[in-house]
Amino acid sequence: MLRTIPHNQRLNEVRYDIRGPLHARALELEQQGRSIVRLNIGNPGRFGFEAPAHVRQAIADHLRDSEAYCHQQGLVEAREAIAQVHRQRGVAADLQQVYVGNGVSELIDLSLRGLLNSGDEVLVPAPDYPLWTAAVILNDGQPVHYPCPPERQGLPDPDEIERLITPRTRALVVINPNNPNGAVYPLALLRAIAAIAERHRLVVFSDEIYEGLLYDDAQFHPMAPLVQGTLCMTMSGLSKMHRACGYRVGWMTATGRVTAAREYLKSLDLLAALRLCSNVQGQWAIPAALLGPDTHTALCRPGGRLYETRAALLRTVARSRFLSVVAPQGAMYGFVGIDEGQLAEFDDQQFALDLLERKQILIVPGSSFNVPYRNHFRITLLPEAALMERVIVAIDEFIAAIAAGGRRAVA
């Protein structure tokens, strides 16, 4: 009899439903010939968006320069462009403090691996992009979630954050604009969070991958200029604003009390060296993206693709008997709530599976984003507005059928 090969037990605590069992089931249904409306992932290229021409051209122009390993922290030209953006914001930064990775995802893992010892705690927003929670767990840490509920427009309370700090707390994660709820943090709130981190000498991880995708009168404020008394690690990349997910290019910049973090930064350099370097071709796109023309703001203004789809979401939800949503101020998602009052034993995971099986609509259950409630789901704003309206109407009708006939709806 063959002995079963064991797996890492920490993975039992990790969820990533954006590409989890529901995604796998969607693939099976597609193989059966069924067409799936995929609203589970922020992948612009799958919805007809293209990377800007000047960004794409920068890669083409440097293909012959991309055939050797580069420095483990990234190309000099790329890191200098990133540092220049920080300096334009009044933050002291140079290329020695910049790390380029295979997307922000790799850098989240790398940055936590270099910081955490067994049992160390990291404050993470709830809801969060679930990779943050997963990476803390997989690097022997303990995620501690601070609430950002819909009742507060998806924003945290600084006093609640501070009450969660213990002697084991090492870092505080800020996702601004937030994925999945689209909250954009006011300047006063960011200052209060920065002050908490400085008082307790916590490393601030500021995930700003959606910084330029803003709606209505929302204003983005970077965290780095506000953090002086401790270390701030700012993360961004090409995947969202520049619609280039497949290039797998992200970056991370250390600012603030860099000298006090010398040993930590050495550990990041070592970890970066262990994987030799991130993909070189995509790095040539960084200067073009950061220093070239703005191609993303128009998408979020009246007439722009993301703006109009967001508007379709908001007006269709407003007509619904069962759905609600806090208007996203940034990013490319809606975090939609469901009124459970007329639904017996409602469970967001089962609802998402039933919706996929019977209506061929793929969403992400809200509990996947590490919140304690189970009456939300996330959808991306990437489809055309007309499709978004049809989808929300179909979901509302599906919930009405559940309410009329029991927990599960009939086909």
Residue-wise pLDDT for 204-216, tens only, equals: 999 999 999 999 9
CATH of the domain at 159: 3.40.640.10
pLDDT of residue 408: 45
78 within a domain of the structure (yes/no): yes
Residues 257 and 323 in one domain: no
Residues 85 and 143 in one domain: yes
Domain stop point among 273, 291, 309: 291
pLDDT of residue 1: 66
Residues 380 and 251 in one domain: no
Name every residue whose Cβ is closer than 8 Å to that of residue 340 and which is 6 or more positions away in sequence.
Answer: 346, 375
- The Cα 387–Cα 197 span in angstroms is 43
Average pLDDT estimate for 323-332: 97
Residues 30 and 96 in one domain: no
The CA angle 79-42-147, to the nearest 5 degrees, is: 90
Helix (H, G, I), strand (E, B) or coil at 221: coil
Per DSSP bridges, beta strands 231-237 and 98-101 are unpaired
Q: ω into residue 127 within 30 of 0, thus cis?
A: yes
Record the pTM.
0.94
pLDDT of residue 341: 82
DSSP state of 328: P
- Neighbour order of strands in the sheet with 250-256: 98-101, 250-256, 231-237, 203-207, 169-175, 121-126, 142-147
pLDDT of residue 5: 82
Residues 34 and 68 in one domain: no
pLDDT of residue 250: 97
Residues 155 and 231 in one domain: yes
Within 34-103, strands assigned E span 37-38, 98-101
187 within a domain of the structure (yes/no): yes
Closest CA to 350 of 334, 337, 367, 335: 367
- Neighbour order of strands in the sheet with 364-365: 323-325, 333-338, 376-380, 364-365
pLDDT of residue 406: 59
Average pLDDT estimate for 140-157: 97
Residues 44 and 59 in one domain: no
- Judging by beta carbons within 10 Å of its beta carbon (0-12, 13-18, 19+), is residue 181 exposed, middle or buried? buried
Give 221-278 pLDDT, tens digit per residue. 999 999 999 999 999 999 999 999 999 999 999 999 999 999 999 999 999 999 999 9
Residues 240 and 336 in one domain: no
pLDDT > 90 fraction of the chain, expressed in percent and rounded: 89
CB 170 within 8 A of CB 118: no
Per DSSP bridges, beta strands 361-362 and 142-147 are unpaired
169 within a domain of the structure (yes/no): yes
Distances (CA, A) of 155 to 145, 249, 328: 13, 28, 12
Give 45-102 pLDDT, tens digit per residue. 999 999 999 999 999 999 999 999 999 999 999 999 999 999 999 999 999 999 999 9
Name the average pLDDT for the chain. Answer: 94
2 within a domain of the structure (yes/no): no
pLDDT of residue 199: 97
3 within a domain of the structure (yes/no): no
162 within a domain of the structure (yes/no): yes
Domain stop point among 274, 291, 308: 291
Give 11-28 pLDDT, tens digit per residue. 778 777 778 888 999 999
DSSP state of 229: S
Within 313-382, strands assigned E span 323-325, 333-338, 361-362, 364-365, 376-380
Range(s) of the domain holding residue 145 = 53-291
- Judging by beta carbons within 10 Å of its beta carbon (0-12, 13-18, 19+), is residue 98 exposed, middle or buried? buried
Domain stop point among 276, 291, 306: 291
Closest CA to 375 of 405, 402, 343: 343
- For the chain, the first-to-last Cα distance in angstroms comes to 44
Residues 88 and 109 in one domain: yes
Number of compact structural domains in the chain: 2
Bridge-partner residues for 362, per DSSP? 38
Residues 281 and 159 in one domain: yes
Residues 118 and 212 in one domain: yes
CATH of the domain at 370: 3.90.1150.10
Residues 232 and 173 in one domain: yes
CB atoms within 10 A of CB 331: 30
Give the pLDDT band of residue 344 (cuts 50, 70, 90): confident
246 within a domain of the structure (yes/no): yes
411 within a domain of the structure (yes/no): no
**Residue 152 predicted with pLDDT over 60:** yes
